[in-house]
């Protein structure tokens, strides 16, 4: 395959999967404004390794894994930065030990409260309707881990959101 054919192949992959990857990034991070950038960054990373990616059995699963890893890194960086800012600006006498309880909790806030792997499993299974096998491939984990992490994640969401968590997260899946 000549370079132009390889470029065309990647371009077709990009056009076909960018929107889904951006939606996945949005659901993982809760940030609509940066989801498109995250998906584009992941696709740039894929292009840089396209010779390996194109020989993979499950290119889209590989791409989802890259998005999940990049989202995890961004969320962790943002959390660290917020903590630094809060520590720098927080008056020492106003510190409280208890957590703030929001009056209204939406699904995105509830998803952000889940650990990375549970959140990714719940989003892939219930919001994107992937099978357990497809989710396992995307995250590089076993099907059994997908099952347990999804179950535990949904239980946590039910605790946070109430009995309608499944309906709210995945439209009733």
- DSSP structure class, residue 82: H
Tens-place pLDDT, residues 51-79: 888 888 888 999 999 999 998 888 777 76
Q: Is residue 173 scored above 50 in pLDDT?
A: no
Cα of 8 vs its chain's centroid, Å:
28
What are the boundaries of each domain within the chain?
Answer: 1-95, 101-173
29 pLDDT above the threshold of 50: yes
Q: Is the pLDDT of residue 100 over 50?
A: no
Asked if the model's pLDDT at residue 83 lies above 60, the reply is yes
d(CA 166, CA 173): 6
Task: Tell me the C-alpha distance between 49 and 171, whole Å.
Answer: 36
Note the pLDDT of residue 104.
31
**Distance separating alpha carbons of residues 157 and 111, to the nearest angstrom:** 7
Q: Is the pLDDT of residue 116 over 50?
A: yes
Instruction: Give the residue carrying structure tokens 């990714």.
Output: 120
For residue 112, what are its two tokens? 């952000």
pLDDT in the model for residue 157:
86
| 60 burial level (CB within 10 Å; 0-12, 13-18, 19+) | middle
Mean pLDDT of the chain: 81
CATH 1.10.10.10 corresponds to the domain 101-173: yes
Q: What is the pTM of this model?
A: 0.54
- In this structure, are residues 71 and 29 in contact, taking their beta carbons and an 8 Å threshold? yes
């Amino acid at each position: 395959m000549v370079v132009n054919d390889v470029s065309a192949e990647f371009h077709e992959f990009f056009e076909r999967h960018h929107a889904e990857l951006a939606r996945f990034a949005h659901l993982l991070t809760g940030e609509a404004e940066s989801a498109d950038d995250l998906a584009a960054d992941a696709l740039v990373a894929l292009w840089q390794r396209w010779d390996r990616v194109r020989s993979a059995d499950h290119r889209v699963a590989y791409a989802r894994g890259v998005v999940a890893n990049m989202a995890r890194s961004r969320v962790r960086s943002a959390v660290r930065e917020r903590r630094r800012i809060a520590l720098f600006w927080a008056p020492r006498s106003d510190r409280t030990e208890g957590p703030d309880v929001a009056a209204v909790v939406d699904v995105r806030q509830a998803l952000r409260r889940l650990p990375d792997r549970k959140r990714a499993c719940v989003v892939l299974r219930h919001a994107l309707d992937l099978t357990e096998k497809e989710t396992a491939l995307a995250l590089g984990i076993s099907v059994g881990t997908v099952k347990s992490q999804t179950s535990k994640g949904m239980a946590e969401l039910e605790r946070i959101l109430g009995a309608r968590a499944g309906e709210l997260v995945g439209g009733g899946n």
